[in-house]
Structure 1
Amino acid sequence: MQVALFIPCYIDQLYPRVGMATLEILERRGCDVVFPAAQTCCGQPMSNTGCNSDARPLAERFLEIFAPYQYVVAPSGSCVAMVRHHYDEFLAGRPGFEELKAKTFELCEFLVDVLKVESWDGVYPHKVGLHSSCHGLRELGMGKPSELVGVDFSKPGQLLAMLDQIELVKPQRPDECCGFGGTFAVNEEAVSCMMGTDRLQDHLSAGAEVLTAADMSCLMHLQGLSGRKKMPLQIKHIAEILNESEAKS
């Protein structure tokens, strides 16, 4: 199975360990992973800000670079949601675009839905809080939002629950936004910080020692707030936890 690894800008520049953890997880599961060196930003920051003329060439470039591969996997729900749900404005009708949408996955949903992972030989003896980021939850369907009726599920939570000695703690408001929202955190700084602080306090009250998510952008925001307030909370992407757990087992 050939997988092209798409690494978001902020992971490439600030959290390369998350990209390496994703690579190691996929390789251990038999994937032939390639990293197209010509890849650029997916264009989400420009699109969210209304700068569509700047986002369009990045979408076109993404299609050109990743169309040849069997699968595209990224450790980021928001970037994958950009490709699957927001590229239509730029690429509708282009050859290969529908195929690109169908084969682009966030890491956790790729592990659950494509590789059909049902067990994980890993140990992680910590109390872990899972932040369900908005894009993954409501655009990719990686879990059940609280506003919908139905069976409760979470693909990231399903993977974490496979680890030995882990204790998943649940906040009172499990799918509330962290307040990051890209440029929202810049334009509405005070509101963004209050939302993020509320998220952190909710997880701390539930007993979390480690806070994780499938989006490093959300965790970047929460890590900044947690660090400034000196909260006793580790912040780790789910790829880091899954990869570390295997190393310990």
Structure 2
Amino acid sequence: MFSAIVDRYSRCRSFSPAQAGRERWRSRPPRSSAVSGPCSRWNTLERLRYEWSTDHPPLEERQIMKLLRVLLVGALATVLTTVGVGLGAGVAEAGTAVAPNATSLTGNWTDNGSAMPSIIQGGVGGDNLVVNMSFANRPTAFGKVTSATTFFVTFPDAGRFTGTIVGGGDVLQWSNGSVWRRVFTGQLVHDINGSWTDGISFRRVTNTGGYVRVTLDNGTQVGVGFARNASTIEVSFTAGGTFLGTIDPNGLIRWSNNTTWSHPILH
């Protein structure tokens, strides 16, 4: 293909630097030489060679070819840009253009506190997804945001699933029926790590990166959960029931079943 372009260039040019002296290059090409048509680009090249030769030695053939490549690359870039804009407009008109979701999915997620996957959203355009499933010794999964509220992820060991972003970006509803909730990993209004009591029995609570565990004094786990925000945790207990706990800065956890836990050391 390139040899055909070079042959066309050879036929279109009006004279050759190998056959012309410096004085001939200084003869300014007439304005009429810049015509439109199949040879217009080559006339532009001849004028470029003239402008160069005004203050420099005549261009060698290899230098002319280098300039020719620059012109060809520029023309190709223009064509690709035009085509790209056209395709983009077509997609937009069809209503299937990818729109970045308003809230990034980057962060820690969970089902009810037992699963501990994490997501990284990034890449060019910010629509690539990487899902870390190492907590369950599963391979890393990859996906993509497909609209402001939808995405898909391909799990190497389970297949491809689509998802819907709801709850202001804090809930992911998957096509297999499972639901992931965003885990709050910041500082709580009160440190909940340690021993708690309802006045009858004692429980020990640990908060690790937003993932909450409740155990008996002998280490038996009786509840798993996660932090929703700086003052709210959600815990599912093995005895039955999932409850929200509101954290009081004074060292209390007020549960949605109307029970209250307190830190013995503080109360």
State TM-score, norm by structure 2.
0.19
Judging by fraction of residues, say which structure has more strand.
2
Q: Which has the higher helix share?
A: 1
Higher relative contact order (CA 8 A, sep 6+): 1
The structure whose Rg is larger is 2
Q: TM-score, normalised by structure 1?
A: 0.20
